[in-house]
A and B are shown apart, each in its own frame.
Chain A
Amino acid sequence: MSALTASAALTQRVEIDLFQGPFDLLLTLLLRDEVDLLELPLADLVEESVTPGQDERWDLDAASQLVLLLAAMADLKGRRMLGEDVEDEPDVDAIAMREALSARLVAYAPFQRAAAWLADRLRAAEGPRYRRVPPGTATPVPVTDDPARLRAAMHKMVEAPPVPSLDHMGVARRPLPELLGRLRESIARLREVSFDAMVRDCDRLEEALTLLAALELVRRGEADLRQDVPFGDILITATR
């Protein structure tokens, strides 16, 4: 939307031998090649446009925009003087794009102004107040004339909630030390026990824990494990 707002830099008036008028007009003439860039006394232009008048001050945005434009001109002029290949041919795509964008901005501008009108309207319409709550439609507070019912209803609010039951989670767990003791006892008595025999009536969790207990005995040097075939039975043998 900055394209819509006039910039102070561009409306600045310049007076040099070649041209007297607003800066943006000079720029437009240059772009249309109606003023030859090579003939433009750039130093004069810089001096003319960057030197502020007696009692005016520049704002930073305007000044920097102007410096940028002057630098672009100097760059372009320098390249032309050196005979560098500067794109003289206007870019057809760029022109078409620019025109399409311009047409879109022109078509949209009325809505932007309408939005500004609406904003004014909104400010103007802020004063009056309307009736909001129609009388008689507010929901009446429910009252009961029976204190016992009221007490019963309110009692529910102070009752402690029941403790949640964990019965469904009742899986009897055999802790590892207990299994360890049982296994140690078995191999002390029999010297050698079969893993399959140890876990015959156990569930999967106990089976896993028994295997852990067996491994623990091996780690402590109390037992050896032997498995003749892969996935076969494991023999747990006492070492002493």
Chain B
Amino acid sequence: MSELARAIEALLFISPEPLDQATLVEITIESPAEIGRAIDEIRARHGADTGLELAEVAGGWALRTRPDLAPVCDRLRARPREDRLSPAALETLAVVAYLEPVTRREIGRLRGVDVDSTVTSLLERGLIEEADRDQPNGPMRYQTTTHFLQRFGLARRGDLPTLERFELTGPEAKAILSRLQQAELIAEAETGDT
């Protein structure tokens, strides 16, 4: 391994946060290209047969344990029980991740329900944060956090499949309309006078 790769490996080992390129450039006084090569060296060194892996997460690089070692790692350090995210929380999170920065009202309009409590709980869990206001005195807009990227293993903000990939096809959209018609018919039958 090159001297630079050794240095960066040491930095990644002691850092509690992922280190981004700018930080590494600043500390090592090397060019981004050199750092990129060193990162590749470190990645190659930590193969599947080792205990650590180099991961690109939350806008930087981090040395972390390999997923299959989770059970033994948890025997050393009890893992804080991750609170389960409800479907409503996940859907709200998806809306924020794709449309950020986005206001509560915009989220609510899309979801068709009041989202105040869901947004508050996501804020408390540190998965979203206040971003800015569109205009002075305007409503607060929200965005996802670094913690969100870490927890979902995303390399950077916007590291998501395109939303188009999830769109309904024509027949699927038509099916929704016809199911609504059927649902109305059922509702009519249930409440209809005899």
Contacts and interface: CB of A to CB of B under 8 A. Distances in A.
Q: Do A and B form a real pair? A: yes
Interface residues of A, number: 50
A119 B87 CA distance: 9
A118 B110 contact: no
Interface residues of B, number: 63
A69 B98 contact: no
A135 B112 CA distance: 47
B21 interface: no
A127 B53 CA distance: 12
B176 A127 contact: no
B4 interface: no
B68 A127 contact: yes
B93 interface: yes
A132 B76 CA distance: 13
Q: Which of B151, B181, B194 has the most CB of A within 10 A?
A: B181
Contacts of A232: none
Interface stretch (A100-108, A141-149, A202-210, A214-222): A100-108
A75 B166 contact: no
B10 interface: no
A50 interface: no
Interface string B45-82: 00000000101000000111111111001100101001
A127 B67 contact: yes
A39 B142 CA distance: 58
Interface of A: 2-4, 6, 10, 24, 27-28, 31, 65, 68-69, 71-72, 75, 94, 98-99, 101-102, 104-119, 121-122, 124-135
Interface of B: 13-16, 53, 55, 62-70, 73-74, 77, 79, 82, 85, 87, 90-91, 93-95, 97-98, 110-112, 150-154, 160-161, 163-164, 166-168, 172-173, 175-186, 188-190, 192, 194
